[in-house]
Amino acid sequence: MNAAARLVHQRALTRHLVFTHLFSRRQLILLILVFAVLLSALGLIYVTHTTRVLHANYQRNLAEQTQLQIQQGQLLLERSTWLVQARIQQIAEQQLGMVIPDHQSVVIIRE
């Protein structure tokens, strides 16, 4: 073996020996498991936060939907009221021959 190959081989062995002395197999597995638990905890926090935000948005949209349905009901009621008055006026004019009086022919009586 030449000197360069021996040096590379020696450094690789040294790195391997340092690594195996610093971390045993059991310690390495424990370190990986701790890292996985921490990563899982962070994921759980993120998912919980996202779920709460989405639920709050859902509740807000549900309240808005309810408000819009109430408003739609009120507008439909108002529309039907206007349609009834228009229908009464149409029947009065067509079938009964009634007309809206002129402004001059209206007399206001005060008590």
pLDDT value of residue 50: 98
pLDDT value of residue 53: 98
- Domain-embedded: residue 42: yes
**What domain count does the chain have?**
1
- Domain-embedded: residue 99: no
Query: Residue 9 in contact with residue 1, Cβ under 8 Å?
Result: yes
pLDDT value of residue 69: 98
What residues of the chain score a pLDDT lower than 50?
none
- Domain-embedded: residue 12: no
Query: Residue 31 in contact with residue 23, Cβ under 8 Å?
Result: yes
Q: For residue 19, what are its two tokens?
A: 């690594």
- Domain-embedded: residue 83: yes
- Domain-embedded: residue 101: no
| pTM of the predicted structure, to 2 decimals | 0.53
Query: Residue 98 in contact with residue 92, Cβ under 8 Å?
Result: yes
pLDDT value of residue 25: 81
Q: What's 98's DSSP letter?
A: -
| Residue 81 φ then ψ, to 5° | -65, -45
- Domain-embedded: residue 87: yes
pLDDT value of residue 44: 98
Range of the domain at 89: 26-94
- Domain-embedded: residue 107: no
Contacts of 6 (CB under 8 A, 6+ apart): none
- Domain-embedded: residue 3: no
